[in-house]
A = this chain, B = another copy of it.
């Protein structure tokens, strides 16, 4: 199975390296050409000048970009050249609706589309330990599973097209709430003048333990916020969740609060920092 990867950002790059090392990666496309060149040099894979050229010469197209419009643009561009029987997997975090539109576009070309967003941060992308939530045709998933196993240590089939993105929305809402929980508690610890390094270590062993505390606790209390997961991207994701919540009559007050807090931080120029920069507001 020849695999092509579109999008070599913070997440995409780690995944592409794992795909190359597992022997799947045949070619890459990236808007910024220099990033793609790196893969030609290191792994000897093809670098394509356009998504459509890439799609024409592989069996599986993986997409990892940022926004709904990017996914739809790429799918439109590849739909002219892609071979029937190919599978397109979108690992970007976008709306369920975008997934449905992309799937319907590609179905006309006898191409399966899977929405397969991931969670686990840049660490997970680098180490191949991402969690992946997949919507779409289950047989298509089974067919290309060996490819996805090079990226993810937990692949879960969620149901029809869009249910991967629906699950990712749950994940992003939970991540927002946990960010609120961890920053609130650590600011309270700091106000008590407790030794924060030890606080984080001991709490990480108990019933309040969580990935975010273990991976971002020390850095946030030291005032460093290198991404990780960019705050502006989480903001974008949560806006999608907000729309979905309105549609299904859910109350998501912590996510709403987080959207406001992030907007405030973005206005101050912190949009490219990690989401743990929320701590700036909790302990000014």
- Determine whether A178 belongs to the interface, using a CB cutoff of 8 Å to chain B: yes
What is the total number of copies of this protein in its complex?
Answer: 2
Which residues on B sit within 8 Å (CB–CB) of A194?
A: 158-159, 163, 166-167, 170
A interface size (C-beta, 8 A): 71
- Determine whether A107 belongs to the interface, using a CB cutoff of 8 Å to chain B: no
Within the complex, the shortest CB–CB distance from A49 to chain B, in Å, comes to 34
Which residues on B sit within 8 Å (CB–CB) of A210?
A: 178, 208-212
- Determine whether A253 belongs to the interface, using a CB cutoff of 8 Å to chain B: yes
Whether the Cβ atoms of A202 and B131 lie closer than 8 Å is yes
Known: A167-B189, A192-B248. A121 touches B207 (CB 8 A): yes
Q: Which of A180-232 contact B (CB under 8 A)?
A: 180-182, 184-189, 191-192, 194-195, 198-199, 201-213, 215, 229
Whether the Cβ atoms of B250 and A191 lie closer than 8 Å is yes
- Determine whether A58 belongs to the interface, using a CB cutoff of 8 Å to chain B: no
Greatest chain B CB density within 10 A among A132, A184, A189, A198 is at A184
Q: Which of A250-276 contact B (CB under 8 A)?
A: 250-255
Known: A178-B178, A255-B184. A203 touches B169 (CB 8 A): no
A174 to B167, CA, bound (A): 24
Which residues on B sit within 8 Å (CB–CB) of A245?
A: 188, 191
Which residues on B sit within 8 Å (CB–CB) of A178?
A: 177-178, 181, 208, 210
- Determine whether A175 belongs to the interface, using a CB cutoff of 8 Å to chain B: yes
Whether the Cβ atoms of A206 and B131 lie closer than 8 Å is yes
Within the complex, the shortest CB–CB distance from A179 to chain B, in Å, comes to 8
A167 to B166, CA, bound (A): 36
- Determine whether A120 belongs to the interface, using a CB cutoff of 8 Å to chain B: yes
Residue of B nearest to A188 (CB): B250
Other-chain residue from B119, B130, B213, B252 in contact with A188 (beta carbon distance below 8 A)? B252
- Determine whether A153 belongs to the interface, using a CB cutoff of 8 Å to chain B: yes
Which residues on B sit within 8 Å (CB–CB) of A54?
A: none
- Determine whether A239 belongs to the interface, using a CB cutoff of 8 Å to chain B: no
Greatest chain B CB density within 10 A among A191, A195, A245 is at A191
A-B pairs with beta carbons under 8 Å apart, 16 shown: A119-B203, A121-B207, A131-B203, A131-B205, A132-B202, A158-B195, A159-B194, A167-B194, A167-B199, A167-B202, A170-B186, A170-B194, A177-B184, A188-B244, A207-B215, A208-B211
Give me the interface of A with B, judged by CB distance under 8 Å.
118-121, 124, 129-133, 153-154, 156-159, 163, 166-167, 169-178, 180-182, 184-189, 191-192, 194-195, 198-199, 201-213, 215, 229, 241, 244-245, 248-255, 282
